[in-house]
Amino acid sequence: SKNENDHEGIVCQLLPTIPCSKSNGPFTLKCSCESIGLQRTLCTSAVRRQETAASTTSSAKTSRDSSIFPPIIGEESSLRWGGKKFEELPIAHVKATYNNTHIQLTESTGQSMVRTSCGTEGFKNIKKSTPIAAQTAGISAAAKATAKGVKFVRVVVKGLGPGRLSAIKGLTMGGLEVISITDNTPVPHNGCRPRKARRT
């Protein structure tokens, strides 16, 4: 439901749903270009897109795909996946470090169901820090999860490593259905001092 105009090369596809400079809840979308000159063209394209969006949302409201944002855990949502509400679905924690990728599937309560990583798949040392290893870990985790009867899962990613995207892809390839992706990368507000800078 992203309305892309073909006459603009401007990147931000979220413009139809979110106006240019409004802070919308947890997401504050700053305009991608801080330049004043380009901001003019950006905002006019936003206005044009909003007009076309207003005209096409009436036709595109068929399925429930008009929201990128997750259902808030108040009483409102009528979305169910396999009969379960959003907050009752199992969670797949993907910890993508720079040397390895761990995948752990837990219930919504927190109880662990399945735990795989690149190391448990038989990769060693440098081969663990590859996206392919993460994909195989994802496939095996999905296989074990479907054996336990899990269909829909929400993914929580932690860390910026090589296996960040391919682990999620592996989960989908293994048969699980990913319904939402969360990023839980720890960003300290200047807490612990990290190690010293490398000089290569």
Chain residues in the site for other proteins (CB under 8 A): 1, 11-14, 25-30, 32-38, 40-41, 63, 65, 67-70, 72-73, 86-87, 154, 160, 165, 168-169, 172, 177-188, 193-198
Phi, psi of 153 (to 5 degrees): -150, 145
**Minimum distance from residue 122 beta carbon to other proteins (Å):** 25
- Nearest to other proteins of 30, 124 (CB atom): 30
- DSSP H helices, the chain, are 36-57, 131-147, 164-173
- Nearest to other proteins of 23, 112 (CB atom): 23
8 burial type by CB count under 10 A (0-12 exposed, 13-18 middle, 19+ buried): middle
**Minimum distance from residue 183 beta carbon to other proteins (Å):** 4
**Minimum distance from residue 113 beta carbon to other proteins (Å):** 18
Q: Which residues, including other chains, have CB under 8 Å from residue 52's CB and lie 6 or more apart?
A: 3, 5, 16
**Minimum distance from residue 6 beta carbon to other proteins (Å):** 18
> DSSP character for 41?
H
